[in-house]
Protein backbone atom coordinates (compact mmCIF):
# COMPACT_ATOMS: atom_id res chain seq x y z
CA UNK A 1 0.00 0.00 0.00
CA UNK A 2 2.81 2.41 0.87
CA UNK A 3 4.37 1.75 -2.52
CA UNK A 4 1.14 2.95 -4.09
CA UNK A 5 1.16 6.09 -1.94
CA UNK A 6 4.74 6.77 -3.08
CA UNK A 7 3.61 6.44 -6.70
CA UNK A 8 0.84 8.95 -6.03
CA UNK A 9 3.37 11.41 -4.62
CA UNK A 10 5.60 11.02 -7.68
CA UNK A 11 2.65 11.64 -9.99
CA UNK A 12 1.43 14.64 -7.99
CA UNK A 13 4.92 16.10 -7.99
CA UNK A 14 5.17 15.75 -11.78
CA UNK A 15 1.70 17.25 -12.19
CA UNK A 16 2.65 20.19 -9.96
CA UNK A 17 5.80 20.87 -11.97
CA UNK A 18 3.62 21.11 -15.08
CA UNK A 19 1.13 23.48 -13.43
CA UNK A 20 -1.77 21.03 -13.31
CA UNK A 21 -4.93 21.65 -11.31
CA UNK A 22 -6.14 18.03 -11.14
CA UNK A 23 -4.49 14.62 -11.43
CA UNK A 24 -6.72 11.64 -12.32
CA UNK A 25 -5.58 8.10 -11.49
CA UNK A 26 -7.14 4.74 -12.46
CA UNK A 27 -9.85 2.62 -10.88
CA UNK A 28 -9.00 1.02 -7.52
CA UNK A 29 -5.51 2.50 -7.87
CA UNK A 30 -5.02 1.71 -4.20
CA UNK A 31 -4.44 -1.11 -3.47
CA UNK A 32 -4.78 -2.20 -7.12
CA UNK A 33 -7.75 -3.37 -9.20
CA UNK A 34 -7.08 -7.09 -8.56
CA UNK A 35 -5.85 -6.64 -4.95
CA UNK A 36 -8.88 -5.16 -3.15
CA UNK A 37 -9.52 -7.01 0.15
CA UNK A 38 -13.04 -7.64 1.41
CA UNK A 39 -12.13 -6.44 4.89
CA UNK A 40 -11.08 -2.90 5.68
CA UNK A 41 -7.26 -2.76 5.81
CA UNK A 42 -5.57 -1.59 8.96
CA UNK A 43 -4.60 2.09 8.92
CA UNK A 44 -7.01 2.75 6.03
CA UNK A 45 -7.95 6.12 7.53
CA UNK A 46 -4.27 7.03 7.73
CA UNK A 47 -3.88 6.22 4.03
CA UNK A 48 -6.68 8.70 3.26
CA UNK A 49 -4.94 11.29 5.43
CA UNK A 50 -1.65 10.66 3.64
CA UNK A 51 -3.26 11.23 0.25
CA UNK A 52 -4.90 14.48 1.40
CA UNK A 53 -1.57 15.66 2.80
CA UNK A 54 0.11 14.96 -0.54
CA UNK A 55 -2.45 17.12 -2.32
CA UNK A 56 -1.66 19.95 0.10
CA UNK A 57 2.08 19.45 -0.25
CA UNK A 58 2.02 19.65 -4.04
CA UNK A 59 -0.99 21.97 -4.37
CA UNK A 60 -2.69 19.68 -6.90
CA UNK A 61 -6.17 18.18 -6.81
CA UNK A 62 -6.56 14.42 -7.10
CA UNK A 63 -9.25 12.07 -8.38
CA UNK A 64 -8.49 8.45 -7.58
CA UNK A 65 -10.22 5.08 -7.52
CA UNK A 66 -10.37 3.47 -4.07
CA UNK A 67 -12.41 0.81 -2.28
CA UNK A 68 -14.86 2.31 0.20
CA UNK A 69 -15.75 0.35 3.32
CA UNK A 70 -19.05 1.68 4.61
CA UNK A 71 -22.35 0.45 6.01
CA UNK A 72 -20.90 -3.09 6.30
CA UNK A 73 -20.55 -3.09 2.53
CA UNK A 74 -17.80 -2.49 0.00
CA UNK A 75 -18.13 0.02 -2.82
CA UNK A 76 -15.96 0.70 -5.86
CA UNK A 77 -15.49 4.45 -5.36
CA UNK A 78 -13.92 7.46 -7.05
CA UNK A 79 -12.74 10.13 -4.62
CA UNK A 80 -12.05 13.72 -5.70
CA UNK A 81 -9.89 15.97 -3.51
CA UNK A 82 -9.09 19.67 -3.91
CA UNK A 83 -5.55 21.10 -3.83
CA UNK A 84 -5.88 21.67 -0.08
CA UNK A 85 -6.82 18.03 0.51
CA UNK A 86 -10.48 18.87 1.06
CA UNK A 87 -12.97 16.26 -0.16
CA UNK A 88 -14.84 17.56 -3.18
CA UNK A 89 -16.96 14.49 -3.90
CA UNK A 90 -17.06 10.71 -3.85
CA UNK A 91 -18.95 8.47 -6.25
CA UNK A 92 -19.87 4.79 -5.98
CA UNK A 93 -19.72 2.81 -9.22
CA UNK A 94 -23.20 1.99 -10.48
CA UNK A 95 -22.45 -0.34 -13.41
CA UNK A 96 -20.38 -3.16 -11.93
CA UNK A 97 -18.49 -5.28 -14.47
CA UNK A 98 -18.50 -9.05 -14.57
CA UNK A 99 -18.96 -11.68 -11.87
CA UNK A 100 -15.86 -10.74 -9.87
CA UNK A 101 -16.98 -7.14 -9.30
CA UNK A 102 -20.53 -8.24 -8.53
CA UNK A 103 -19.21 -10.71 -5.96
CA UNK A 104 -17.01 -8.10 -4.29
CA UNK A 105 -18.87 -4.80 -4.44
CA UNK A 106 -22.29 -3.30 -3.83
CA UNK A 107 -23.56 -1.07 -6.65
CA UNK A 108 -23.92 2.64 -6.10
CA UNK A 109 -27.21 4.36 -6.85
CA UNK A 110 -26.53 8.09 -7.19
CA UNK A 111 -24.79 10.50 -9.56
CA UNK A 112 -22.34 13.05 -8.23
CA UNK A 113 -21.25 16.46 -9.52
CA UNK A 114 -19.05 19.12 -7.93
CA UNK A 115 -17.59 22.54 -8.60
CA UNK A 116 -13.89 22.90 -9.27
CA UNK A 117 -12.02 25.84 -10.79
CA UNK A 118 -15.23 27.48 -11.99
CA UNK A 119 -16.59 24.39 -13.75
CA UNK A 120 -18.97 21.60 -12.88
CA UNK A 121 -17.42 18.14 -12.88
CA UNK A 122 -18.95 14.69 -12.71
CA UNK A 123 -17.53 11.30 -11.76
CA UNK A 124 -17.97 7.87 -13.32
CA UNK A 125 -15.91 4.68 -13.07
CA UNK A 126 -14.84 2.49 -16.00
CA UNK A 127 -17.85 0.43 -17.20
CA UNK A 128 -20.24 3.27 -16.22
CA UNK A 129 -18.93 5.44 -19.05
CA UNK A 130 -19.79 2.86 -21.70
CA UNK A 131 -23.51 3.41 -21.08
CA UNK A 132 -25.02 6.49 -22.76
CA UNK A 133 -27.53 7.09 -19.97
CA UNK A 134 -24.88 7.60 -17.28
CA UNK A 135 -22.98 10.26 -19.20
CA UNK A 136 -26.27 11.83 -20.34
CA UNK A 137 -27.58 12.09 -16.79
CA UNK A 138 -24.41 13.82 -15.63
CA UNK A 139 -24.66 16.23 -18.56
CA UNK A 140 -28.26 16.98 -17.57
CA UNK A 141 -26.98 17.78 -14.07
CA UNK A 142 -24.69 20.37 -15.63
CA UNK A 143 -21.41 18.47 -15.75
CA UNK A 144 -19.00 19.98 -18.28
CA UNK A 145 -16.12 17.59 -17.53
CA UNK A 146 -16.46 13.94 -16.49
CA UNK A 147 -13.54 12.26 -14.75
CA UNK A 148 -13.37 8.49 -15.22
CA UNK A 149 -10.88 6.33 -13.30
CA UNK A 150 -10.88 3.02 -15.13
CA UNK A 151 -9.27 -0.41 -15.37
CA UNK A 152 -10.27 -1.45 -18.88
CA UNK A 153 -8.58 -4.64 -20.00
CA UNK A 154 -8.00 -6.52 -23.23
CA UNK A 155 -9.69 -7.24 -25.56
CA UNK A 156 -11.98 -4.23 -25.08
CA UNK A 157 -9.95 -1.69 -27.07
CA UNK A 158 -13.17 -0.57 -28.77
CA UNK A 159 -14.15 1.17 -25.53
CA UNK A 160 -11.16 3.49 -25.68
CA UNK A 161 -11.24 4.06 -29.42
CA UNK A 162 -15.00 4.24 -30.08
CA UNK A 163 -17.29 4.37 -27.06
CA UNK A 164 -15.59 7.03 -24.94
CA UNK A 165 -15.17 9.53 -27.83
CA UNK A 166 -18.82 8.89 -28.72
CA UNK A 167 -20.00 9.54 -25.14
CA UNK A 168 -18.12 12.86 -25.16
CA UNK A 169 -19.46 13.98 -28.54
CA UNK A 170 -23.09 12.99 -28.08
CA UNK A 171 -23.28 14.93 -24.79
CA UNK A 172 -20.88 17.79 -25.65
CA UNK A 173 -18.78 17.12 -22.54
CA UNK A 174 -15.08 16.56 -21.92
CA UNK A 175 -14.21 13.06 -20.66
CA UNK A 176 -10.96 12.33 -18.86
CA UNK A 177 -10.43 8.56 -19.14
CA UNK A 178 -7.55 7.39 -16.91
CA UNK A 179 -6.79 3.72 -17.51
CA UNK A 180 -4.44 1.14 -16.04
CA UNK A 181 -1.66 -0.26 -18.18
CA UNK A 182 0.56 -3.31 -18.02
CA UNK A 183 -0.55 -6.66 -16.62
CA UNK A 184 -1.65 -7.92 -13.21
CA UNK A 185 -3.16 -11.17 -11.90
CA UNK A 186 -3.80 -12.48 -15.39
CA UNK A 187 -5.32 -9.26 -16.75
CA UNK A 188 -3.71 -7.23 -19.52
CA UNK A 189 -4.84 -3.62 -19.37
CA UNK A 190 -5.48 -1.65 -22.54
CA UNK A 191 -3.80 1.59 -21.46
CA UNK A 192 -4.71 4.20 -24.10
CA UNK A 193 -5.72 6.83 -21.56
CA UNK A 194 -7.16 9.91 -23.24
CA UNK A 195 -8.90 13.22 -22.71
CA UNK A 196 -11.68 13.72 -25.26
CA UNK A 197 -13.14 17.17 -25.83
CA UNK A 198 -16.85 17.87 -26.27
CA UNK A 199 -16.56 17.25 -30.00
CA UNK A 200 -15.21 13.74 -29.32
CA UNK A 201 -11.77 14.56 -30.66
CA UNK A 202 -8.82 13.85 -28.35
CA UNK A 203 -7.28 16.80 -26.54
CA UNK A 204 -4.53 14.40 -25.54
CA UNK A 205 -3.90 10.67 -25.71
CA UNK A 206 -1.39 8.11 -24.45
CA UNK A 207 -0.21 4.81 -25.83
CA UNK A 208 -0.16 1.56 -23.91
CA UNK A 209 2.58 2.55 -21.44
CA UNK A 210 2.72 4.63 -18.28
CA UNK A 211 3.07 8.39 -18.29
CA UNK A 212 1.55 11.74 -17.53
CA UNK A 213 -1.01 13.01 -20.03
CA UNK A 214 -1.62 16.75 -20.15
CA UNK A 215 -4.50 18.61 -21.76
CA UNK A 216 -5.63 22.21 -21.65
CA UNK A 217 -9.29 22.83 -22.31
CA UNK A 218 -9.44 25.53 -25.02
CA UNK A 219 -11.62 28.61 -25.07
CA UNK A 220 -14.52 29.32 -27.38
CA UNK A 221 -15.37 26.93 -30.21
CA UNK A 222 -13.47 24.03 -31.66
CA UNK A 223 -12.56 23.87 -35.33
CA UNK A 224 -15.38 21.34 -35.66
CA UNK A 225 -18.02 23.82 -34.54
CA UNK A 226 -18.66 22.45 -31.05
CA UNK A 227 -18.68 24.88 -28.10
CA UNK A 228 -15.76 24.30 -25.75
CA UNK A 229 -14.78 25.55 -22.31
CA UNK A 230 -15.13 29.24 -21.51
CA UNK A 231 -12.21 29.00 -19.08
CA UNK A 232 -8.93 27.15 -18.97
CA UNK A 233 -8.45 24.04 -16.84
CA UNK A 234 -5.37 21.85 -16.96
CA UNK A 235 -6.31 18.23 -16.41
CA UNK A 236 -3.71 15.56 -16.15
CA UNK A 237 -3.67 11.87 -15.49
CA UNK A 238 -1.36 8.94 -15.42
Is residue 137 in some structural domain? yes
**Is it true that the peptide bond before 155 is cis, omega within 30 degrees of 0?**
yes
180 carries an active-site annotation: no
pLDDT recorded at residue 215 = 86
- Return the half-sphere exposure (C-beta side, CA atoms, 13 A cut-off) of residue 209: 1
Instruction: Find how far residue 196's CA is from the centre of its chain.
Output: 13
Is residue 83 in some structural domain? yes
Q: Residue 20's domain is classified under what CATH number?
A: 3.60.110.10
How many domains, in total, are found in the chain?
Answer: 1
pLDDT recorded at residue 219 = 55
Query: CA–CA separation, 93 vs 90, rounded Å?
Result: 10
- Which structural domain range is residue 26 located in? 2-221
Query: CA–CA separation, 202 vs 217, rounded Å?
Result: 11
* Catalytic residue (choose from 55, 68, 101, 126): 126
Is residue 14 in some structural domain? yes
pLDDT recorded at residue 218 = 52
* Catalytic residue (choose from 68, 93, 144, 206): 93
pLDDT recorded at residue 2 = 81
Is residue 232 in some structural domain? no
Instruction: Output Rg (C-alpha) for the chain, integer angstroms.
Output: 16
* Catalytic residue (choose from 27, 68, 101, 130): 27
Are the C-beta atoms of 23 and 14 separated by less than 8 Å?
no
Is residue 235 in some structural domain? no
Is residue 207 in some structural domain? yes
* pLDDT tens, the chain, 238 aa long: 788 899 999 999 999 999 999 999 999 999 999 999 999 998 999 999 999 999 999 999 999 999 999 989 999 999 999 999 999 999 999 999 999 999 999 999 999 999 999 899 999 999 999 999 999 999 999 999 999 999 999 999 999 999 999 999 999 999 999 999 999 999 999 999 999 999 999 999 989 988 898 888 755 444 444 444 333 333 433 3
Residue 91 exposed, middle or buried by CB count within 10 Å (0-12, 13-18, 19+):
buried
- Return the half-sphere exposure (C-beta side, CA atoms, 13 A cut-off) of residue 49: 4
Residue 202 exposed, middle or buried by CB count within 10 Å (0-12, 13-18, 19+):
middle
126 carries an active-site annotation: yes
101 carries an active-site annotation: no
Are the C-beta atoms of 34 and 65 separated by less than 8 Å?
no
**Is it true that the peptide bond before 31 is cis, omega within 30 degrees of 0?**
yes
Provide the 10 A C-beta neighbour count for residue 231.
10
Amino acid sequence: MQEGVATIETALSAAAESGADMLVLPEAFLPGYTAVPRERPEAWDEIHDDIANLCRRHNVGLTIGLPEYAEDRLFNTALALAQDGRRLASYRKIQLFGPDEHALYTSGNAYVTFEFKGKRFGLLICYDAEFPEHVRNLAKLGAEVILVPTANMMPFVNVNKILIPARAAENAVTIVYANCCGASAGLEYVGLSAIHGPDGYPLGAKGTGEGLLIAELPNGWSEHGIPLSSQRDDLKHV
